[in-house]
Amino acid sequence: MSHLPVFPAEEERYRALQELDPRGEGILDVLLKGLHDESWRVRHAAAEGLQRLAAPEDVALRLVGVLGERGETGARNAAAEALVGLGLPALRPLVKLLGHADPDQRKFAADILGQLGLHVAEAPLVQALEDPDLNVRVAVSEALGRVGSEHGARALERLLGDPEPLLRLSALEGLVLLRRPPPLPVVVALLDDARLRRSAFRALGLIPQVAATERLCLGLESATRSVREAALAALGTQASLVEPARRCELEAVIRAALRRLPDAVARLAQALESEDVTVRAGALLAVAALGEASLAVPVAEAAREDRLLRDVLSTLGRLGAEGGRTLLAAMSDLSAPARAAAAEALVDLVDATSVTPLCALLEWAEDDLRGVVVRALGRTRSAEAAGPLVDLLRDSVTAGAATRALGVLAGSCRGAVLAALEDAVARRATPVAVAALGRVGGAPALPSLRKLARDVDPRWRAAAVEVAGEVDGGVGRELARAALADEAAPVRAAGARAMGRLGGTEAGALLRSALQDEESSVRRAAVEAVGESGAMDRVTELEPLVRHPDGALAVAAVRALSRLGRVGERVLREASGHPDAEVVKAVLSAGAVSREGVSLAVSLLEHPHWDVRAAAARVLGDSGGPECLGPTQRALEAESDALARQALSDAVERLARR
């Protein structure tokens, strides 16, 4: 028979329980004894151990016996925890316990049945509402709030007329938990009872009617903070339930109520600092309805709670340009989550007055924030933003965002943007300005692009060649053809990329020389261009490249052949033997849709690189048939790498279902 060792130290007793064999003789008695330990950690370990034993019905009967041990509060609570963990096997003895002579036992049974959350407990719980003991009836009504359906809800609703306030409160709370509010007139009547008011507000929040909104707004006028916060929380709930078309009507009622309050702003600021996330959600709705820009900072700070981020962004978006200016002035003092939310909102809140503070923000903002600020500059509709955005083209981190922002700004200030870009090109500020000039300037910029394509600096020639095709296909093809014969490798690579985007029947012939270029960067660009342009006439030149010692070139060849639909058995076999694991993973991905690719994945389960084995497992999970289950299981048993084991485990689980 197993015995619980007598250890003076809590940690030793705790570990002893954890290490007990659940199949050992007498283990049930040992764990039941552990429920009586003076340490809550040991009692918790015993409760967990009891949930792992065989014959859970027998375990449940013994645990119900522990519930009757008066004076053993710790053991009784641990037994309740174990019963909840047992689930369905605990149902029958707990239902039987509802009929015990001791009301304390009946209450325990109701509490645990509620925690079990099993709908099959609803009928006996409804019957137990007739219990002569008030505490039991209250516990039963609370339990029905967790397990009930329509039957339980009707029973709880009948209790709202009971003369006992505590029972009315528990019944109302149960209905709120079930999200089955009683009729509006019934809830309104309950507002007159101060003991039920907060719960009644919660019930009102579940009724998406303007009449309910009006009653909730009366709660905003209360001198009691807890009542105001209950009303706000309910408004937030109601807003999530109301149809989008009626949201404006709801907000109009809230706005009218708040405007009647002389200290509405102070009250909302206080609510935005509440520890209750539902109160803060309701406060965000109220701020949006009121459009109070002075609350922009506390609204942004609500983003510290991840669950409120969407509501924060929605509310900030309603505060207009004044809200944007308030945020800009406070950016350096905001918490990191608030700053990120504020920056995202600023994109839609800025105006012409925001250019200077946005530029000041760029001087200290981190990279992720800088990208959003750059977007905001493009939305200012101010000619003054053109110069700062063009300057940002020189920074590789912000160049892409600045180019896009200039395109947006050009919608309202095209002349200023073009002038700034032309000046940057004339000053030789950065070749990136060439791409922006072509995209913003369109056809009128073509003469400048033609000239730049003949510039002495290969960086400028390459930039002009890359963007010309976006402006005019004919001119782009002409410049790309010339670029493929340029003396500078970056220009030839640019010509290949441009030809890949432009495509056409002559693309394959023009790319032929680039596929044999002495510079690997040009060859890679040409290989990618063949795949992008669909040049099937160059397939025979791509196939040998899957064995090329340059892993990057081999990967590009595999991916190009995949785009062309020409990854056959030979390519699979040759690429899978490449010493670079990235090439092998690329060919696994390319072959995943074919029978040969699945067979290759099975063979690569024994590859020396863990990431290849993991990639093979993912292919099998996606595309393998039942015949792949055995090899995958054996690979899982032999695998030592944790990440590869996870991929293999996922694959085995998916294959086993086929």
- The arithmetic mean of pLDDT across residues 276-287, rounded, is 95
- Which of the following CATH numbers is that of domain 592-658: 3.40.50, 1.10.3470, 1.10.10, 1.25.10? 1.25.10
How do residues 37-68 score in pLDDT, each as one tens digit? 898 999 999 999 999 888 899 999 999 999 99
- The arithmetic mean of pLDDT across residues 288-312, rounded, is 96
Stated pTM of the model? 0.68
| 3-class DSSP assignment, residue 299 | helix
| 637: enclosing H helix or E strand | helix 629-638
From CA 557, how far away is CA 531, in angstroms rounded? 8
Judged against a pLDDT cut of 60, whether residue 4 lies above it is answered with: no
| Contact assessment for residue 410 and residue 417, using Cβ atoms and an 8 Å cutoff | yes
| Contact assessment for residue 370 and residue 398, using Cβ atoms and an 8 Å cutoff | yes
Structure tokens at 418: 């073009």
Lowest mean per-residue pLDDT among 69-73, 248-252, 411-415, 491-495: 69-73
From CA 542, how far away is CA 346, in angstroms rounded? 48
| 3-class DSSP assignment, residue 216 | helix
From CA 577, how far away is CA 581, in angstroms rounded? 9
Judged against a pLDDT cut of 80, whether residue 643 lies above it is answered with: yes
Lowest mean per-residue pLDDT among 4-18, 216-230, 231-245: 4-18
- Model confidence at 443, pLDDT cuts 50, 70, 90, reads very high
Buried b (16+ CB within 10 A) or exposed e, 581-603: bbbbbbbbbbbbeeeebbbbbbe
What residues contact 144, with CB distance under 8 A and at least 6 apart? Answer: 114, 122, 125, 126, 129, 152, 155, 156, 174, 178
- The arithmetic mean of pLDDT across residues 548-576, rounded, is 95
- Model confidence at 1, pLDDT cuts 50, 70, 90, reads very low
Judged against a pLDDT cut of 60, whether residue 226 lies above it is answered with: yes
CB-based burial label for 579 (10 Å; 0-12, 13-18, 19+)? exposed
How do residues 148-166 score in pLDDT, each as one tens digit? 788 999 999 999 999 999 9
Judged against a pLDDT cut of 90, whether residue 22 lies above it is answered with: no
pLDDT of 21 reads 84
What residues contact 20, with CB distance under 8 A and at least 6 apart? Answer: 2, 4, 27, 30, 31, 49
Judged against a pLDDT cut of 70, whether residue 604 lies above it is answered with: yes
Judged against a pLDDT cut of 80, whether residue 6 lies above it is answered with: no
Half-sphere exposure of 78 (CA within 13 A, CB side): 27
pLDDT of 17 reads 85
From CA 372, how far away is CA 327, in angstroms rounded? 14
Percentage above 90 pLDDT, the chain: 87
Lowest mean per-residue pLDDT among 366-380, 442-456, 472-486: 366-380
How do residues 363-409 score in pLDDT, each as one tens digit? 888 888 888 999 999 999 999 999 999 999 999 999 999 999 999 99
pLDDT of 544 reads 96
CB-based burial label for 221 (10 Å; 0-12, 13-18, 19+)? middle
From CA 453, how far away is CA 462, in angstroms rounded? 7
- The arithmetic mean of pLDDT across residues 214-240, rounded, is 91
